[in-house]
Structure 1
Amino acid sequence: MRPSRTTQMVLFLALCAFTVVNLTPIIWAFMTSIKQPVDAFSVPPKLIFTPTFEFHYQVWVEKEFWRFLINSAVIAISTVCISVPIGTMAAFALSRMRGGGSRGILFGLLAMRMFPHILLAIPFFVLAQWLSLIDTYPMMIMALVAINQPFTIWMMRSFFMDVPLELDEAARIDGCNLWQVFYQVALPVVRPGLWITSLFSLLLAYNEFLFALVLTGPNTKTLPVAIAEYGAEDLNYWSLSAAAAIGIMLPIVLFMMALQRHLVRGLAFGAVKG
């Protein structure tokens, strides 16, 4: 049964209001990044002003934020390339396990994910120092894979649970082994969910601050750590911080726009059964 036009209009207006509320901080940050500090912090706020991209130039050229963008991209992409394949295979196995054995494993993974990251930062730092891996890509990637793996497994398992067991049984009758059932039968079905899981894993790694603050250094500093250096009492730093924040969001926004079709399919995957 379709909702009435009045209900559709109310839902549309509510969605527009929700969108405006969520976009207001982003719009305000962008306006701050193209204003001079005297205009950005005037009371009342100036809506008519002469825009300037001076702070964007300072951030990406003079402050060399492009180096930090490369570090963030290398760490985030490497984390996805490692954690998603491992998590996908583990999720398929857990979705096909009989009995209550999988529940204990899943509960343990969930407990690991819920564990406060601040308590894990010190052991990771001690381990990195012992292995002489402070300020290196491998240590940061290993730490992010470790803390994000439970999320990947739980999310991919939910997609595999929507794949009928009859498909597995039909493939086994046709002579497929377990690996072929996973790779040739189940994985193509959950491909939209694989895109969604990869995107969220990328976002988690790209936005990680605490572990990046502890484990990185001048050579591997990421964007969240770099942007945290600006603020304080100098108003110019707030404009630089706003310009950097807008720059940090752009790669993710462009990436999501490019994968919009896969995102819609992934979010809708499993919503309708039958």
Structure 2
Amino acid sequence: MRVQVLILVGLTLFTVFSLTPIVWALLISIREPIDAFSIPPKILVEPTFRYHVDIWLGRGFLGFFLNSAIIAAGTVLVSVPVGTLAAYALSRIQTRASRSLLMSLLVVRMFPHVLLVIPFFVMARSLEMINTYPAMIAAMVALNQPFTVWLMRSFFLEIPRELDEAAYIDGCNAWQAFWNVILPLARPGMVVTSLFSLLLAYNEFLFALVLTGTDTKTLPVAIAEYGGEDLNYWSLSAAGAIGIMLPILTFMLFFQRHLVRGLTIGAVKG
């Protein structure tokens, strides 16, 4: 009982510590700067939502959100199918070459983003693809592909190989066994992988800063324009940060059941 109480207290403190910046940003976004940064702090003030209205309707954040949604959705639609096929093959082929390929993907994922963004910028500029969706989607797919392959491979490893052999005995070829038998069992893992890939692409800043332009600017790049020493920009930045969180938070809550199911695959044995 004492251990459970300590765990509960620890989790509570961790939750409070994690949510404090979000709550603080929310309070700033619904207050006038003179009230948000007054000394001593004012607790009871009349809330205002003009900064939220201004950031979305007056400053074009709806268009930036559309750009982020297109890039994130395109990344998922390309990365997850390709990564799923590669992960299935790497989970069933246990050779030195397959292990070397997996380690190579892991090494690529460990590279700093600032090191990878330079060659992508050079290639996009030479192909005249700066400020286009395909350039940003291709960069996000390349950046997230190692994560997708490794995560999906872990789900495929939880599926017994005897199911493949049983499908072969029943007359299926390799593709039919994968499509009709293995893939339905790995669907929760695909949901989890898709959600994390979507989140990574949605929040990407550095690649979006370099590869996008006025027509394809994403939300993280747009919100970076507000800040500095002007306190009015701080309220706009806080409103934008809260607004950026809401779509992806709603999306995650909607798929929460699938997310929990996918993350708990393999947790119970026997």
Q: Same fold (TM over 0.5)?
A: yes
Q: Please, what is the CA RMSD of the aligned residues? A: 1.0
**Which runs of at least 4 in structure 1 moved beyond 3 Å after TM superposition?**
5-10
Once the two structures are superposed, what CA deviation does each residue of 1:183-237 show, in whole Å capped at 9, x if it has no partner? 1111111211111110100010000000100000000000000000000111000
Q: Deviations over 1:141-197 (max 9, x none)?
A: 001101110100000001101111111111111111111111111111121111111
Distance 1:208 1:216 in 2: 11
Aligned counterpart, 1:245: 241
Matched letter for residue 273 of structure 1: K
- TM-score scaled by structure 1? 0.96
Give the counterpart letter for 1:251 in structure 2: P
**In structure 2, distance between residues paired with 1:84 and 1:273:** 27
**For 2:45, what is the secondary structure of its paired residue?**
coil
Aligned counterparts of 1:273 and 1:108: Cα–Cα separation in 2: 31
Instruction: Provide the C-alpha distance between the structure 2 equivalents of 1:222 and 1:209, rounded to a whole number of angstroms.
Output: 8
The alignment status of 1:167 with 2:144, answered yes or no, reads no
Among 171, 181, 186, the residue aligned to 2:182: 186
Q: Which runs of 5+ in 1 are unaligned?
A: none
Aligned equivalent of 2:84: 88
Partner of 2:64: 68
Structure 2: gaps (5+ residues): none
**Structure 1 position 15, deviation (Å):** 2.0
What is the alpha-carbon distance in structure 2 between the residues aligned to residue 108 and residue 127 of structure 1? 22
- Cα distance, 1:21 vs. partner? 1.2
Name the counterpart of 2:202.
Answer: 206
CA distance in 2, matches of 1:52, 1:130: 47
- Alignment partner, residue 14 of structure 1: 10
- Whole-angstrom distance in 1 between the partners of 2:208 and 2:226: 16
Classify the secondary structure of the residue corresponding to 1:133: coil
Give me the whole-angstrom Cα distance separating, in 2, the residues matched to 1:118 and 1:12: 39
Shift of 1:55: 0.6
* Number of aligned residue pairs: 270
Shift of residue 101 of structure 1?
1.9
SS in 2 for 1:175: coil
After superposition, give the CA deviation of every residue in 1:75-129 in whole Å (9 maximum; x if it has no partner): 0001000000000000000000032221100010011111111122121111111
What SS is found at the alignment partner of 1:138? Answer: helix
Residue 250 of structure 1 aligns with an amino acid whose one-letter code is L
Q: Give the equivalent residue in structure 1 for 2:231.
A: 235
Q: Distance in 1 between matches of 2:246 and 2:62?
A: 13
Q: Which moved more, 1:208-217 or 1:39-48?
A: 39-48
Name the CA distance, whole Å, in 1 between partners of 2:50 and 2:87: 48
SS at match of 1:269: coil
Q: Does 1:46 pair with 2:42?
A: yes
Find the counterpart in structure 2 of residue 268 from structure 1. Answer: 264
1:224-263 Cα offsets, whole Å, 9 max, x none, are 0000000011100000000000000001110011001101
| Distance apart, 1:38 and its partner CA | 0.7
Identity %: 64
In 2, Cα distance between equivalents of 1:45 and 1:149: 47
The equivalent residue for 2:250 is 254
Distance in 2 separating the partners of 1:237 and 1:152: 37
SS in 1 for 2:268: coil
Equivalent-residue separation in structure 1 for 2:238 and 2:43 (angstroms):
17
Distance 2:164 2:43 in 1: 61
Pick one of 124, 128, 150 that aligns with 2:124.
128
